[in-house]
Structure formats: structure tokens, C-alpha cells
Amino acid sequence: LCGAALGAAHGALIGGAAAGAIGALAGTFGGYAVRMRLARAFGRDLPAALLEDAFTIIASVLIVWAAA
């Protein structure tokens, strides 16, 4: 949805939607693998979850800022 919205703003609705779908899949599976490794390293899931959330928020802001 976010990819489609950014793509529509630049006249590329389908391309934006496709990029958003690919990003969602990569983020879901890649994020899961990284979070599990971090949880094992920390011995708990909470620190890994907080790092994951911080990364996601910062990356989202930077992507929207770069696309605007």
C-alpha cells in the first residue's frame, strides 16, 4: 500500500505497488531471520524487538524523505 501511494505520487502506481510488495516480503523474511539471531545473542526477544522497531521506523522515515 505504501509503495503504491509513493508510486502514485510520481506517476508509477503499478511500479510502486510492485516495489512495495517486494519490500514487504523481503522485510518480513529478512527481518525475522535477523530478529531471531539478535534474540539468541541477547538471550531475550525484547531487546531484539526494540532494535527491529527502531530500525523500521528510521528506515521508513528515510525512504519517505528520499521519495518526497
Q: Would you kindly state where each structural domain of the chain is located, as residue ranges?
A: 2-67
pTM: 0.67
Mean pLDDT (whole number) for 8-15: 82
For residue 49, CA distances in Å to 17, 40, 44, 67 come to 27, 12, 9, 27
For residue 32, CA distances in Å to 9, 25, 64, 65 come to 30, 11, 23, 25
pLDDT tens-place string over residues 14-68: 888 888 899 889 989 998 999 999 999 999 999 999 999 999 899 888 877 887 7
The whole-number pLDDT of residue 14 equals 86
